[in-house]
Amino acid sequence: MSILLSGRWPEAERDQWLALLSAALPEERFVLAPEPEVEIAVVANPAPGALQGLPRLGFIQSLWAGVEKLLADETLPPGIPLARMVDPAMNEAMPQTALWAVLGLHRGFFQVQAQQRRREWRQPAQPRAAEWRVLVLGLGELGGRVAQALAAQGYAVSGYSRSPAALAGVRCLHGGLEVLDAALAEADTVINLLPLTAATRGLFDAARLARFKPGAGLVNLARGAHVQEADLLDALARGRPGHAVLDVFQQEPLPAEHAFWGHEQITVLPHTAAQTDARSAAALVAANVRAWRAGSPLAHGVSRERAY
């Protein structure tokens, strides 16, 4: 019996995970190459086909929160339970980044930063937090925490999800994309934390961006494929949205020649809004491995039909 650790990552990062997982699961044997005895695979964006030919494979644990790339692998063995990573440390970091972005947009701090480069002294308007309407898209583990953290700071927060949700201090909306479209026109800041699925890929295209309130902000902390990048550049030129804070991109690292780098209406983050902390994540992996061995329910199981 063994556990396969597989991913596309620097050797030093792989070795860190191996050390932490081995310490958290001293009773298990970890291997870095496929072998017939593998029963569990712990993966981080593995190469397509990496999980083929494992006759005893019974459980796959992802070290990433998003599993769309894993599910896109046509060689992924069907019917095997799959769990995603919901790291407690990431749950703390994402609301911090979201609050920073909302404050920057609400208080005009990104505008002031651009003014500094031009040596301009202009004070932006300062509406109250209760007058600033924030729409959080996706009310799962991360989105729900972000929505409630912003509501606790006094913002007027609405949240959108496909299925019904109930969160204290948050106006929760659910349903099809027509519900989302109606909510976009009211928001001063839109924070995207939706999962990437066939329905949400390319969600922010020219038509949907045109529904934004003039001058509103877009904060994308989910997946780069949610945004049609050329459409966003055109939309910013029209002022809908007025500014974008982007942590994720269609190609990463963002190419040096990309138009986003020097764009005054775009704030670029290097996919650092909320990084998995290997220390707390290893403990979660260990708990799921032991649960699977015992035949108990897994934490954060993935529905292949929903793709999250």
Listed residue (251, 185, 242) closest to 223, CA to CA: 251
The whole-angstrom separation of Cα 40 and Cα 279 is 20
Structure tokens at 4: 């396969």
Q: Name the catalytic one among 107, 174, 211, 271.
A: 271
- Side-chain half-sphere exposure of 170, counting CA atoms within 13 A: 29
DSSP 224: G
Q: Name the catalytic one among 84, 223, 226, 243.
A: 223
Cβ contact 275:90 at 8 Å: yes
The whole-angstrom separation of Cα 48 and Cα 52 is 9
Q: What single-letter amino acid sits at 128?
A: R
Q: What single-letter amino acid sits at 260?
A: F
Is the alpha carbon torsion for 155, 265, 213, 184 positive or negative?
A: negative
Cβ contact 136:156 at 8 Å: no
Structure tokens at 165: 């949700």
Q: 300 catalytic, yes or no?
A: no
Listed residue (157, 125, 153, 131) closest to 144, CA to CA: 157
The whole-angstrom separation of Cα 5 and Cα 106 is 43
Strands (E), the chain: 2-7, 30-31, 38-44, 59-62, 82-83, 133-137, 156-161, 171-174, 189-192, 217-220, 243-246, 266-268
Q: 208 catalytic, yes or no?
A: no
Cβ contact 228:204 at 8 Å: yes
Give the active site residues. 223, 271
